[in-house]
Each structure stands twice: as C-alpha cells, then as structure tokens.
Amino acid sequence: MKKGDIVQGYVERVEFPNKGIVRIVEEDRNVVVKNTIPGQKLEIQINKLRKGKAEGRVVSILENSPIETENACPHFGACGGCVYQSVDYKEQLKIKEAQIKGLLDSVIDYEYDFQGILESPVHNGYRNKMEYSFGDEIKDGPMALGMHKRGSFHDIITVDGCRIVDEDYNKILRCVLDFASATGLPFLHKMRHEGFFRHLLVRKAVKTKEILVDVVTTTQYSCDFKELVADLRKLELDGRIVGILHTDNDSLADIVQNDRTEVLYGQDFFYEELLDLRFKITPFSFFQTNFLGAEVLYSKAREYIGDVDGKVVFDLYSGTGTIAQIIAPVAKKVVGVEIVKEAVEAAKINAELNGLTNCEFIAGDVLKVIDDIEEKPDLIILDPPRDGIHPKALQKIIDYGVDYMVYVSCKPTSLVRDLEVLKEQGYRVVKGCAVDMFPGTGHVETVCLLSRKAPV
C-alpha cells in the first residue's frame, strides 16, 4: 500500500470522536478514515502513511451500514456539522457508549461503576444556539449563510433545512440571507480579509421561547438594518424575538467576537429556566446548547455531588455558574472560577436573580486565581473547556486533597488524560456515565465521580 492508492474495506468500529477503523482485508491492515459509520463498505484513497499507520479519505460509499436509516436532513453529508444523522438514535447511543467505556477502561485498571449513557430528551431541533457563517458554496458563487462544507475552510452551505434546530432558526436564517444579498454588500473573504457580513448568531430559550438575533459584520462598510428589523419582526415564529443586535467584529481569526454591539430592537439578553432556576443569558455568554439535555447532565452531576450540607464547594471552570447555583441552596458556600469575564458577570446576575447569597464568582484563570482564594474546599467540581485542565492547574487542584471530585467533560479524550494524572496521585473513579447532549454528531458529555478514599 502506498499513498494515493484506492482500496476498499468495511468500517469495523468508530473511535472517538469520528475516527472510523476500516479493515483492508487484501492488505491485512487497518486504515483510519474520518466521518464514517460502523458497517459501511467504502472506497477510500490513502492520503497518509507514517510509522505503520495509514489514513485515508472516502471516495465513495459502496454499501450503507445496516444501522443507517433514511437521512433526516437534506444537508447531511455535505455539511460538516453531523456524523450520525443517518443512524437510528438507539444505535447512535450504542456507538457513543462503547467509545466512552473504551476510553475510560484504557486508564482505569480497577473496578468502577460505569452507568452507561443517558439519552437526550429530544433528538431533533435540540440546539438553542447557532453560529452561522456568511460565504459562498463555490468560488465567486452567490452568497450563502450556514455551516462549513465538510472538510473545507472556505465553502459555506446554506443550511435552511437543518434538523438539529427548530424551524424558527431556518426562517430567521433565510430572512437574514435574503436581506444581506439584497444589500449588495460582500461577505468577508477570509484570505483577503475584505468584506462586510461575517456571522449570524441565533439563540432561543426552550422554556420561555425568547429569541435573540445578532448579525455580526466588519466595520469596513455601513448598513441600514431597519428593513431587516422589520422583516424579522414580521416572521411567523413559534418563539418570540426579544432582541435584534448588530455586532462589530474586525478580528483576523474566523471566530464570533464582540468588538461592539448595538441593540437594533428590544434588548441584548433573554431568560431561560432550568431545574427551578432562572437564567439571564447574553449573546456571548456560555450556556449548554442542548437545554433539555443540560437538565439531564446537571441532574446526574448533582446526584454524583451528593450531600454538601455545611460544605464549601469549588466550581472550577464555572461558566455562567449553572452547576454552582444548582447546588448552592444545599451548600454552605460555592466558589466559582471562570476565565471569561462576561460569563462571570452573568453568573453574578443570575445568582442574585435566584436569591442565592452564598455564591461567589471570580473572574480569572484557574491556574492563577485559586492561590488567592482564602476558603479551602470540601469538594471540587471540574467542568473544563475541551482541552481539559492545564497540568499545573490540575496539580494545584490535587494539592487541596479533597476526598471527592466530580469531573464533567465535553471531550472524553481530555478527560482520560487528566484521569491518568489523578490516578497517579491517589484518586480513583468511583462511577461514571455518558450523557448524549449532541444527537446526530460525534460529541458526547461524560460525568465521573472521583474519590481519594476506597471506592464506595
């Protein structure tokens, strides 16, 4: 086998997050191919060979997997957002459960209670936040607004039939795209850094049904958005638009960044309700994108946290303080640390909104901030970003010597890396489970309870 060869094989399994292991019988070897489904027969081209490992890309799907059903989304396959849209949901859960169990078992060499995977209460239309990009599907083609084409940094597909959001998102997307196209102003070309329209941010609450719409542009041109505001307000929606915003972003990076935000209509926030608490959410503050799934995730985390009566709890990487506020009513005190200042301000507002006086939220890097906290924790909750915990910060956390920690992870490969360090320093996983927050995609959340004592 050499680079450029075209070969055929079956996908034996998929390792997290989307690495299909394709068996090439004639060559008696495996090839890693991304974005595949167990049981598919593929024609693939070898594009990498190094140190005995081979990687390839899909040329064509010769046979669908037995676990595939009809595609639920017209954009599936072309859009890079979803991997398992064509797979029966129960089979999706089996794939993810096996992936998480395999990852945990790779670092846990003792008995622990693996409690399987908890499913999302809704499988379609579950996302409460979408960041769409302006661009074109083909070079110099008409303006598009949507998601990146799979495997492409430049090409954008208009995803106005997307199934992981409800129909309100698709109506708003089409309305904004029609307006932007009619202005004649260009979208931002990523290589030349020239243009105007960059992103569309849409957020919607599940319980209150309140919607925020934010059009993100550069400052290279000016535009009158009065017509867009009028068009959006005329839309027949299931929810209710409470704010229409315009955000300036001149960053060279392809990210949704807030340099300045103008309120075109209404307000720059909306309210959501979760586990008997009320949250004020701003355009750029973090909140779990699957709200009903978040209730499942946080209920499981609360179960693992257990009795905190009279205890001081540290909620590190606390975001907008959701977990902190869920346990605050039964704890002595909760201290949240979060590096994003806007999220910390939101957490403070939400704690006041919910009448919680025993929460303290600190803005800063966990690595630097925890040295200055006077209280000592009885229990620590960890909910880090995708890259996991900085090694030096993890050591400082371990040095507190708490008996129990609860680790919530959005990237299990980062989790198992940190678990190795924790194991070396005397912590053991008592129990753990997966929570499917992202049906149709390869992503999954994991929750683990760790103890310095003998396993319960």
In degrees, rounded to 5, the angle at the alpha carbon of residue 167 between the alpha carbons of residues 434 and 265 is 105
Give the whole-angstrom CA distance, residue 340 versus residue 319. Answer: 7
Amino acid 140: pLDDT: 84
pLDDT in tens, 254-282: 888 889 999 999 999 999 999 889 999 88
Give the whole-angstrom CA distance, residue 246 versus residue 183. Answer: 15
- Mean pLDDT over residues 63-87, rounded? 88
Give the mean pLDDT of the chain.
93
* Strand stretches in 81-166, DSSP E: 113-118, 129-136, 143-148, 156-158
Question: How far from 43 is each of 9, 63, 206, CA to CA, in Å?
Answer: 7, 10, 42
Give the whole-angstrom CA distance, residue 326 versus residue 258. Answer: 29
Give the whole-angstrom CA distance, residue 420 versus residue 150. Answer: 33
* Structure-model confidence comparison of residues 352 and 320, the more confident one: 352
Amino acid 257: pLDDT: 84
Strand duo 333-338 + 359-363: pairing: parallel
Q: Which residues pair with 46 in a beta bridge?
A: 56
Are the C-beta atoms of residues 205 and 195 closer than 8 Å to each other? no
**pTM for this model (two decimals):** 0.91
Is pLDDT of 200 > 90? yes
- Mean pLDDT over residues 70-75, rounded? 81
Are the C-beta atoms of residues 279 and 273 closer than 8 Å to each other? yes
Amino acid 256: pLDDT: 85
Structural tokens at position 449: 């309870």
Is pLDDT of 292 > 70? yes
Give the whole-angstrom CA distance, residue 256 versus residue 200. Answer: 9
Is pLDDT of 253 > 90? no
pLDDT in tens, 352-369: 999 999 999 999 999 999
Amino acid 456: pLDDT: 42
Is pLDDT of 12 > 90? yes
Give the whole-angstrom CA distance, residue 223 versus residue 185. Answer: 9
Are the C-beta atoms of residues 390 and 418 closer than 8 Å to each other? no
Is pLDDT of 7 > 50? yes
Quickly count: other Cβ atoms within 10 Å of residue 184's Cβ. Answer: 8
Give the whole-angstrom CA distance, residue 35 versus residue 50. Answer: 21
Judged by DSSP in three states, 173 sits in helix
- Mean pLDDT over residues 30-55, rounded? 92
- Mean pLDDT over residues 400-420, rounded? 96
Going by C-beta distance under 8 Å and a sequence separation of 6 or more, which residues neighbour residue 424? none
Of these residues, 79, 82, 162, 410, which one is catalytic? 410
pLDDT in tens, 87-121: 999 999 999 999 999 999 999 999 999 999 999 99
Structural tokens at position 92: 């999706």
- Residue 221 DSSP class: S
Percent of the chain with pLDDT over 70: 99
Give the whole-angstrom CA distance, residue 76 versus residue 87. Answer: 11
Amino acid 248: pLDDT: 97
Amino acid 77: pLDDT: 84
Question: How far from 265 is each of 55, 101, 228, 262, 431, CA to CA, in Å?
Answer: 50, 48, 11, 9, 48
Please confirm, yes or no, whether 73 is among the known catalytic residues: no
Give the whole-angstrom CA distance, residue 417 versus residue 36. Answer: 25
- Residue 377 DSSP class: -
pLDDT bucket at 80, cuts 50 / 70 / 90: confident
Structural tokens at position 81: 């957002």
Percent of the chain with pLDDT over 90: 83
